[in-house]
């Protein structure tokens, strides 16, 4: 069997945003230009994981999400840390499509429906300002749907929704201490929708290069420069 093509939620986000850029990214290895990548979100992500794990060990929820989410924190820290790592994270291979979807969860909740354990993907987001209405679904719906698909295919049935926990700055205090606002948003996380996105993305890759996307700034730049 040929080596599977590997896709991630972020790669599929590119497909949903601009099919042409996605086609070039995978088929021609032509990637969008990138500037310096800020390290603060990654650093925040690491310390938030440690913070959540402290409450996991106490079998509690962090107080800022208490009453705002269903269930409790996934109790198996060792397994969760594997899921958090891109190298050992959740994977699902569609043999018919010769494609593997992989992803790294930030966190997971465990709940119970009709005496059956169910699992809910949870992702931390650090940003400068509170999210606007509809932004969560627009920018992160596919990500949580992919996580739900990965959980389902690895034997962890899901609920059809997930949570985003936003941290955005409130004020700076003495000695470099920064306090944050925290906003928790529940959005749809549909594994069937993620599976369809994978299928549609592979179908596109096997076809001709798509036309320029009218709302893609990279396509607009390329067209102006003779692409």
Which residues make Cβ contacts (< 8 Å) with residue 113, sequence separation at least 6?
A: 159
pLDDT band of residue 216 (cuts 50, 70, 90) is: confident
Which domains are seen in the chain, by residue range? 5-224 (3.90.320)
| Inter-CA distances, 149 with 2, 6, 96, 154, 167, Å | 23, 15, 16, 9, 26
Query: What digits encode the pLDDT tens for the residues 49-60?
Result: 999 999 999 999
Query: What digits encode the pLDDT tens for the residues 143-182?
Result: 999 999 999 999 999 999 999 999 999 999 988 899 999 9
Question: What is this structure's pTM?
Answer: 0.92
Q: What is the pLDDT of residue 212?
A: 84
Query: What digits encode the pLDDT tens for the residues 3-47?
Result: 679 999 999 999 999 999 999 999 999 888 887 777 888 899 999
Q: Is the pLDDT of residue 111 over 50?
A: yes
Q: What is the DSSP letter of 87?
A: T
Q: What CA–CA distance (Å, rounded) separates 224 from 227?
A: 7
Residue 149 Rama label (left phi>0; alpha psi -120 to 50; beta)? alpha
Which residues make Cβ contacts (< 8 Å) with residue 2, sequence separation at least 6?
A: 98
Q: What is the pLDDT of residue 131?
A: 92
Q: What is the pLDDT of residue 1?
A: 39
Q: What is the pLDDT of residue 51?
A: 97
Q: Is the pLDDT of residue 63 over 70?
A: yes
Q: What CA–CA distance (Å, rounded) separates 157 from 123?
A: 18
- Summarize the confidence of residues 192-216 as an average pLDDT: 94
Residue 128: exposed, middle, or buried by beta-carbon count in 10 A (0-12, 13-18, 19+)? exposed
HSE (side-chain half, CA atoms, 13 Å) at 206: 10
Instruction: Identify any residues that bridge with 10 across adjacent strands, giving them in sequence order.
Output: none
Q: What CA–CA distance (Å, rounded) separates 122 from 69?
A: 10
Q: 58-82 burial, b for 16+ CB within 10 Å, e for fewer?
A: eeebbeebeeebebebbeeeeebee
Q: What CA–CA distance (Å, rounded) separates 220 from 227?
A: 9
């Amino acid at each position: 069997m040929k080596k599977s093509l590997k896709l991630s939620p972020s790669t599929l986000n590119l497909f949903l945003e601009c099919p042409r850029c996605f086609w070039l990214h995978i088929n021609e290895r032509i990637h969008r230009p990138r500037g310096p990548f800020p390290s603060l979100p990654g650093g925040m992500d690491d310390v938030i994981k440690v913070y959540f794990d402290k409450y996991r060990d106490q079998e509690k929820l962090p107080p800022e999400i208490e009453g705002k989410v269903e269930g409790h924190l996934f109790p198996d820290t060792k397994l969760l840390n594997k899921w958090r790592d891109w190298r050992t994270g959740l994977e699902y291979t569609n043999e018919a499509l010769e494609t593997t979807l992989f992803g790294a969860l930030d966190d997971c909740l465990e709940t119970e429906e009709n005496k059956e354990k169910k699992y809910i993907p949870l992702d931390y987001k650090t940003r400068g300002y509170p999210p606007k209405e509809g932004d969560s679904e627009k920018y992160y719906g596919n990500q949580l749907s992919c996580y739900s698909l990965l959980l389902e295919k690895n034997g962890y049935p899901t609920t059809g929704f997930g949570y985003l926990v936003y941290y955005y700055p409130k004020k700076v205090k003495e000695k470099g201490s920064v306090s944050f606002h925290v906003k928790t948003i529940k959005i749809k996380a549909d594994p069937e929708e993620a599976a369809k996105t994978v299928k549609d993305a592979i179908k596109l890759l096997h076809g001709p290069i798509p036309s320029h996307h009218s709302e893609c700034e990279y396509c607009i730049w390329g067209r102006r420069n003779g692409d």
